[in-house]
Structure 1
Amino acid sequence: MTIKTRNRRKLCDTSLATDEVPVIVRLWMLRCLVPLHGHRSFVHKGYLDDDEEIAGVIGLAGWENDPDEFDKSAVITELRRLYRGMERAAGDCRLPKTLGCNIGRLASLIGLNEVEQAIMAFAVMLRSDRYLRAATSFLGVQSTQQVCASLATILSLPGVHIQRALSGQSTLSRSGLVSLDKDSCFNLHDRLNIVSSNFVDIMLGEDADPVDLLRGKVEVATPPMLTLADYPHLGPSLDILLPYLRQVVEQGCRGVNILLHGSPGTGKSELARVLAAKLGCELFEVASADEDGDPLGAEDRLRAVRAGQCFFASRGAMIVFDETEDVFYDGGLMRESTAKSHKAWMNRLLEGNAVPTLWLSNRIDDMDPAFIRRFDMVVEVPVPPRAQRERIVRALCTDAVEDSVVRRLAQEEWLAPAVVAQANGVMRRLGSSLPREQAGEVLLYLVDSTLTAQGHTRVGAKDARSLPDIYDPAFINADVDLAEIAVRLKGSRSARLCLYGPPGTGKTAYGRWLADQLDIPLLVKRASDLMSPYVGVNEQNIAAAFRTASRDGALLLIDEVDSFLRDRGGASHSWEATLVNEMLTQIETFEGVFVASTNMMAGLDQAALRRFDLKVKFDYLQVQQAVGLLRRYCKLLGLAMPKDVERIVATHLSHITPGDFAVVTRQQRFHPAACFDDFLMALKDETSLKAVCKPRIGFLH
């Protein structure tokens, strides 16, 4: 039958075949348009605008879009007729088969009720079907209450059940698979969050394993490359952590969270894999980027970990959440971090998670104490000690790298395993194009560039323990027997020494020599290594230095200690006094050998002086010492010495130090001495630059 053209035309054969869209989707679309009054936006005053495809899907194709030939009331009448017919057949509407099977499997796995299953099915179809999205857009911007009311109508379910299913306490919300965005006010499509687009594709396209459903958000961890034997420096912590995790995994305990923190590259991620392998349980990692390589936001990652809690609760598994800075430190000056802005939710997660979770962080200095106290254990994963660093470097490097290079690298306190592994990967890719004799040099360059970029000091040109080419305590003018100190310390291995005196008198070199005599590692820290522009970081660096020396059994040598022990009476800022207090506390509690050196003894805090067992003065060389050292250097350089050398030294080199000899010897590369007089002149020039206090005129000196 043909109706007047000004009202409507006969349905066209070119209209979209409705078989292409599931019947249940057409039902949901009509419920949006009729009982929810979406037709008010869909049917315009004079035409259907650009919505002809939608009209074709619901069976309303063929209407004239010319305002002069359009009858709005007739269109609405027809729309209602189509809706009533679809409602009569609602009992026969079914979800796509694969989607229905996957939702049923999920419901059994995580315990979704029928209302939650219906909401999930709708959310999946809403993400995948553009016609359904278009139909819901006609409902306009919706509040939370309006979203619940709309879903109640679309799904033909009681509104109170919808509200309960979308509440934060529901299984659906706790799973993170589908959630309601309560902090925004957009249309229905934007208010319903779903864990990932991959989740939608898999739910519609294949019989899914739970792990596949979270693809792109939660991944199966790779097998570890190390073992517990590679973490001897964590012995006390692992002695507690490992049996604890074994018990909670076996018993299925809730609310188990472990915080592993430490500098980047110290092996936290690998440790998580090692622990899981040792326990024989599956480990799932929350991804930081999706399958396309795009970064995941903090809320996306939290939804993923929440979903993992539901999916893997019965598998005896663990979850690892790396780079927790994304959650705890992603705020700014004008915005709170995600964790703080969702503090109550975060606390509930840490108190009730079903799967033991390992949280990995490069820093915890500003983490809210309310979060920290909810972790069962907080374990620091520091850079491995020197002996372990040497073992790791040796294991990772090729045979072409000399032992001397391995030892030099192992001396670097900030050398994390990941830095060595990365450098080794570059060398392997270079392959045969890298000459064997250059392997050590290339490795040093790669490691050095990374450490420098991280803000650490460069890899030293010499071993940190190396002494000057000519070194003998007999050529040090000290007010105590330096060799006797070494003999005494071989028994106790505990002392606090303050070495003071003019620059170049051999204070730092003596610390190195003492470590050699005691056959213990040496940890050298200069003011530049410990000082930071940020308040509080200086104290942390000082504590870390003493902690590292204690762990490694090393002699701790702090050069320029006056930077940290200035008299507090002259402090102009509170942090200056705090810095001194921290240094004093660490000195007092340190049980190893601590050597401090300074050129400015007069400015030290009086309380600091009482902390030292010995205060040793280093002074300019005596004449006989200077003569003996001069003979050694002349022999090294092949220079003949005159017979009256003692007179020459007494006359011309009255304030010379071992450091002056070392400097002038290095200058030989630029201005080689042809004879003794040239070498003597260079020494005189070097000493003439010193600001030496002259004796005052008079009888009292």
Structure 2
Amino acid sequence: MIKRLKKYTHYEKGIEKMLNKMDEKIKLWVLRANACDSFENNSAFDALFGDFCKNALGDELKRLEECEKNGKIATNEVLEKNLKYLSLVMGLNDDEKKILEFLICLKSISVLNDIFRDLAVNSFSCFSKIAMILALSKDCVKAALSYRSKLVKSGIIELYKDCSNFDLAHAFDFGFEHFAFIMFENSRLEDMTNESIRQIDYAGIKTTTNVDEILALIAKKPNANILLKNKEICKQVANELGSRLYELVYSSNRFYRRLDAFFAANALLDSKNSVLMIDEIDDIFNEKTPKALIKRILSENTLPTFWVSDECEFSKYFDMVVG
């Protein structure tokens, strides 16, 4: 099977090792879908199961489901490590993790993409198809991929509003470029956010301000929102905490792009070892921003967050105002 799968993958290096770990999981997903939506005349499906007759496919499905039940279906080690990290940071449950794993593989492994290109979905059937493939309840999948779910709110997964004529692989996308491929690499997950969130170097920062009051607030409230004028104070606090300092990159698309990046930062960065700084906040906090949204922004963060501005008319909503 490894040789037959090679031409259906985007990967060129280490693919044998990846598929040695994932071949049975891939086959299980495909066979579950095939049980309800037959993939006739699908060359990718034939490459996987060309030697199987119809009855043999049913027997193979039963065997693979028994293997899964007994915990004998493996996955790629790097992907599993990154999924565990992401689940820990975001607080994903096992079902959300399974859904994310499937969507990542669907985007990055061409044999899946090629096979499921024949699986048409719409806005209503998309959830039930994924539920069938992963042996989960439809309500579970629908909740995991709703607009208020952790996966969608964080910006990791983007659902198309109108998928009336899409195949399953094109009913969604990832909010970060190359996310599906990064998850198979031994790299920090923060790397995928470089276009919207960047780490700030504060090496050699000198102590110029007494930040004890700020440190005390963060110790009491780890997700404190602090309004200030001086960026150097952010660096000093991060240094005192021994935390990494990240800045939300300014975007010409401004409001929604920055809001997406803000929620993504809070979902993806380690809340115990990261501090977030946001400069030029007038595009987020202004007279056009609904007060309900302002309250949501300042209540749903998990990171200590510094909002840098010379003047902000919504200062009463922050936990502390400095300067």
TM over 0.5: yes
Query: Structure 2: where are the runs of 5+ without partners?
Result: 9-15
Q: Is the 8 A contact 1:225 1:270 kept in 2?
A: no
- Secondary structure of the 1:354 match is coil
The offset of 1:178, in angstroms, is 3.6
What are the Cα deviations for residues 433-479 of structure 1, in whole angstroms up to 9, with x where unaligned?
Answer: xxxxxxxxxxxxxxxxxxxxxxxxxxxxxxxxxxxxxxxxxxxxxxx
Q: Does 1:134 align with 2:130?
A: no
Cα distance between partner residues in 2 of 1:104 and 1:299: 29
- Secondary structure of the 1:100 match is helix
Q: Does 1:309 align with 2:266?
A: yes
> Aligned AA for 2:23?
P
Cα distance between partner residues in 2 of 1:376 and 1:191: 41
- Secondary structure of the 2:74 match is coil
Match of 2:139 among 152, 160, 166: 160
The offset of 1:374, in angstroms, is 3.1
Match of 1:122 among 90, 102, 107: 102
Percent pairwise identity:
24
Q: Does 1:374 align with 2:322?
A: no
> Aligned AA for 1:153?
M
- Secondary structure of the 1:185 match is coil
The offset of 1:270, in angstroms, is 4.5
Cα distance between partner residues in 2 of 1:361 and 1:60: 64
> Aligned AA for 2:120?
G
Residue of structure 1 in register with 2:300 after alignment: 352
Q: Does 1:277 align with 2:255?
A: no
Q: Is the 8 A contact 1:109 1:311 kept in 2?
A: yes
The offset of 1:323, in angstroms, is 4.3
The offset of 1:356, in angstroms, is 1.6
The offset of 1:25, in angstroms, is 2.3
Query: Structure 1: where are the runs of 5+ without partners?
Result: 1-13, 62-76, 230-237, 262-267, 290-294, 330-336, 381-701
Larger radius of gyration: 1
The offset of 1:104, in angstroms, is 2.4
The offset of 1:376, in angstroms, is 3.2
> Aligned AA for 1:89?
L
Call closer, same or farther: CA 1:15–1:165 in 2, change over 3 Å: closer
Cα distance between partner residues in 1 of 2:130 and 2:267: 24
Match of 1:96 among 73, 76, 82: 76
Q: Is the 8 A contact 1:286 1:319 kept in 2?
A: yes
Q: Does 1:221 align with 2:200?
A: yes
Call closer, same or farther: CA 1:278–1:89 in 2, change over 3 Å: closer
Question: What is the correspondence of 1:378-527 to structure 2 with a 5 Å cutoff?
Answer: none
The offset of 1:155, in angstroms, is 0.9
What are the Cα deviations for residues 112-155 of structure 1, in whole angstroms up to 9, with x where unaligned?
Answer: 21101101211221221233233334333521x43321221111
Call closer, same or farther: CA 1:271–1:132 in 2, change over 3 Å: same
Cα distance between partner residues in 2 of 1:296 and 1:33: 43
- Secondary structure of the 1:351 match is coil
Residue of structure 1 in register with 2:13 after alignment: none
Call closer, same or farther: CA 1:126–1:16 in 2, change over 3 Å: closer
Q: Does 1:320 align with 2:277?
A: yes
Q: Does 1:86 align with 2:61?
A: yes
The offset of 1:221, in angstroms, is 1.3
Residue of structure 2 in register with 1:27 after alignment: 28
Match of 2:226 among 258, 266, 271: 258
What are the Cα deviations for residues 158-188 of structure 1, in whole angstroms up to 9, with x where unaligned?
Answer: 12222333345655455x2644537443644
The offset of 1:196, in angstroms, is 1.9
Q: Is the 8 A contact 2:248 2:262 kept in 1?
A: yes
What are the Cα deviations for residues 630-664 of structure 1, in whole angstroms up to 9, with x where unaligned?
Answer: xxxxxxxxxxxxxxxxxxxxxxxxxxxxxxxxxxx
Residue of structure 1 in register with 2:12 after alignment: none
Cα distance between partner residues in 2 of 1:97 and 1:278: 36
Cα distance between partner residues in 2 of 1:190 and 1:375: 41
Cα distance between partner residues in 2 of 1:16 and 1:313: 36
Cα distance between partner residues in 2 of 1:269 and 1:304: 19
Cα distance between partner residues in 2 of 1:328 and 1:57: 55
The offset of 1:96, in angstroms, is 1.4
Residue of structure 1 in register with 2:11 after alignment: none
- Secondary structure of the 1:318 match is strand
- Paired residue total: 301
TM-score scaled by length of structure 2: 0.71
